[in-house]
Amino acid sequence: MNEQYESVIGLEVHVEMKTNSKMFCACSAEFGAEPNTNVCPVCLGLPGALPVLNKKAVDFAIQTAIALQCRVAPSSQFARKNYFYPDLAKGYQISQYDLPLAKNGLLSIATDEEDHDIRINRVHLEEDAGKLIHIGTISTSPYSMVDYNRSGVPLMEIVSEPDIRTAEQARAYLEKLKAVLQFIGVSDCKMEEGSLRCDANISIRKIGSSEFGTKAEIKNLNSFRSVAKSIEYEADRQYELLEKGTALEQETRTWDETKEVTMTLRSKEEAHDYRYFPDPDLVAIEVDESWIKGLESKLPELPAARQKRFMEKYGLGRYDAKMLTAHPQTGVFFDEVMKQYSNGKAVSNWIVGDLMRCLNEAGLGWEENPLKPEQLAGMLKMLDEGVISGKIAKTVFLDMFESGKNAEDIIEAKGLKQISDKSVLEEIVETVVEENPKTVADVKSGKTKAAQYLVGQVMKVTKGKANPGLVKELIEKELENK
Ligand code: ADP
Ligand code: ZN
Ligand code: MG
| Top mutation candidate among 6, 96, 215 for ligand 1, by most atoms within 8 Å of CB | 215
**Mind listing the pLDDT tens digit for each residue in 447-472?**
888 889 999 999 899 888 888 889 99
As for how many domains the chain has, the answer is 3
User: So what's the pLDDT on residue 26?
Assistant: 97
Cα torsion 413, 374, 334, 171: sign = positive
- Residue 234's alpha-carbon distances to 7, 24, 111, 168, 309, in angstroms, are 10, 38, 21, 14, 39
Final residue before a domain boundary, out of 295, 317, 350: 295
Residue type at 400 in one-letter notation:
M
What is the whole-number distance in angstroms between the Cα of residue 97 and the centre of ligand 3? 9
Same domain as 225, residue 89: yes
C-alpha distance across the termini of the chain, in Å:
67
Q: How confident is the model at residue 201 (pLDDT cuts 50, 70, 90)?
A: very high
Burial state string for 330-353 with b = 16 or more CB within 10 A and e = fewer than 16: bbebbbbbbeebeebeebbebbbe
In this structure, the answer to whether residues 335 and 358 fall within a common structural domain is yes
Q: Which ligand is nearest to the CA of 152?
A: 2
Q: How far is the CA of 81 from the centre of ligand 2 (A)?
A: 19
Do 270 and 366 share a domain, yes or no? no
* Ligand 2 centroid distance, CA of 59 (Å): 20
DSSP strands (E only) in 111-260 = 115-127, 131-134, 144-147, 154-160, 196-206, 216-221, 251-256
* Residue 275: per-residue pLDDT: 94
Write out residues with Cβ below 6 Å of ligand 1.
8-12, 159-162, 201-203, 212-213, 215
Q: Are residues 410 and 428 in the same domain?
A: no
Q: d(Cα 362, Cα 209) in Å, to the nearest integer?
A: 48
Give the nearest ligand 1 atom to 268 CA. 3
Whether 409 and 430 map to the same domain: the answer is no
pLDDT tens-digit profile of 303-317? 888 999 999 999 999
CA distance 33 to 147: 10
Which residue's CA is the nearest one to ligand 1's atom 7?
A: 159
Which of 169, 198, 196 is closest to 107 using CA atoms? 169
In DSSP terms, 158 is beta-bridged to 13, 123
Average of per-residue pLDDT across 163-177: 94
Q: Is 379 left (phi over 0), alpha (psi -120 to 50) or beta?
A: alpha
Q: Domain boundary at 366, 381, 414, which?
A: 414
Distance 272 CA to ligand 3 centre (A): 11
Is 269 a residue whose pLDDT tops 80?
no
Distance 270 CA to ligand 3 centre (A): 8
In this structure, the answer to whether residues 257 and 234 fall within a common structural domain is yes
Domain of residue 134 covers 5-295
Q: What's the CATH number where 476 sits?
A: 1.10.10.410
**Ligand 1 center to 445 CA (angstroms):** 72
Q: Which atom of ligand 1 is nearest to the CA of 162?
A: 16
Q: Which of these three, 295, 325, 340, is where a domain ends? A: 295
Q: Could you report the per-residue pLDDT of 202-258, keeping only the tens digit for each?
A: 999 999 999 999 999 999 898 999 999 999 999 999 999 999 999 999 999 999 989
Mean pLDDT of the 266-290 span:
91
Q: Are 120 and 106 in contact (CB under 8 A)?
A: yes
Question: Does residue 363 share a domain with residue 249?
Answer: no
How many CB atoms within 10 Å of residue 223? 14
**6, 160, 201: which to mutate for ligand 1, most atoms within 8 A of CB?**
201
Supply the DSSP string of 257-321, one letter for each residue. TTTTEEEEEEEPPPGGGG--EE-TTS--EE--HHHHHHHHHT----HHHHHHHHHHHH---HHHH
Q: Is 22 left (phi over 0), alpha (psi -120 to 50) or beta?
A: beta
400 with 407: CB under 8 angstroms? yes
* Alpha carbon nearest to ligand 1 atom 17, residue: 10
* Average pLDDT of span 175-184: 92
Domain shared by 277 and 308, yes or no? no
The per-type count for the chain, helices as H runs and strands as E runs, is 16, 16
Q: Which ligand is nearest to the CA of 29?
A: 2
Is the C-alpha dihedral spanning 306, 312, 316, 318 positive or negative? positive
Strands 5-16 and 285-286: unpaired
Dist. CA 441 → ligand 3 center (Å) = 77
Q: Are residues 171 and 83 in the same domain?
A: yes
Backbone phi and psi for residue 264, each to the nearest 5 degrees, phi listed first: -60, 135
In 10 A of CB 41, how many CB atoms? 12
* Whether 42 contacts 50, CB under 8 Å: yes
The residue whose CA is least distant from atom 24 of ligand 1 is 203
Nearest bound ligand to the CA of residue 27: 2
Q: Could you tell me if 460 and 322 lie in one domain?
A: no
The C-alpha torsion from 302 through 307 and 312 to 318, rounded to 10°, is -160
Looking at residue 53, what is its pLDDT?
A: 98
Q: Which atom of ligand 1 is nearest to the CA of 213?
A: 23
What's the whole-number mean pLDDT along residues 395-407? 95
pLDDT of 138: 79
Mean pLDDT of 179-196: 92
Q: Which atom of ligand 1 is nearest to the CA of 163?
A: 16
Residues whose CB is under 5 A from ligand 2 (ion)? 25, 27, 40, 42-43
**Ligand number with the minimum distance to the CA of 10:** 1
Closest ligand by atom to 13 CA: 1
Looking at ligand 1, which atom is closest to the CA of residue 159?
Answer: 14
The pLDDT value recorded for residue 435 is: 93
Within the chain, what is the greatest distance between any pair of CA atoms? 100
Are the CB atoms for 152 and 42 separated by under 8 Å? yes
Closest alpha carbon to 270 in 13, 96, 86, 83: 83
Strand 102-110 and strand 216-221: pairing?
A: unpaired
| Pair (347, 323) in one structural domain | yes
119 C-alpha to ligand 1 centroid (Å): 13
Reported as half-sphere exposure (CB side, CA atoms, 13 A), residue 408 has a value of 6
Collect all residues with Cβ–Cβ distance below 8 Å to 67 and sequence separation of at least 6.
180, 181, 183, 184, 299, 302
Q: From atom 15 of ligand 1, which residue's Cα is the shortest distance away? A: 10
Closest approach atom of ligand 1 to CA 271: 2
Q: Check whether residue 434 and residue 460 sit in a common domain.
A: yes
User: What confidence score (pLDDT) does residue 420 get?
Assistant: 84
Ligand 1 atom with minimal separation from the 212 CA: 23
Phi, psi of 444 (to 5 degrees): -60, -35
Distance 305 CA to ligand 3 centre (A): 32
Single pTM value for the model: 0.79
**pLDDT on residue 465:** 87
> Distance, CA 146 to ligand 2 centroid (Å)?
15
Provide the percentage of residues in the chain whose pLDDT is more than 70.
100
pLDDT at 482 over 80: no
Residue owning the nearest CA to atom 11 of ligand 1:
10
Tell whether the model's pLDDT for residue 399 goes beyond 90.
yes
Distance, CA 51 to ligand 2 centroid (Å)? 9
Backbone angles phi, psi at 356, to 5 degrees: -65, -35
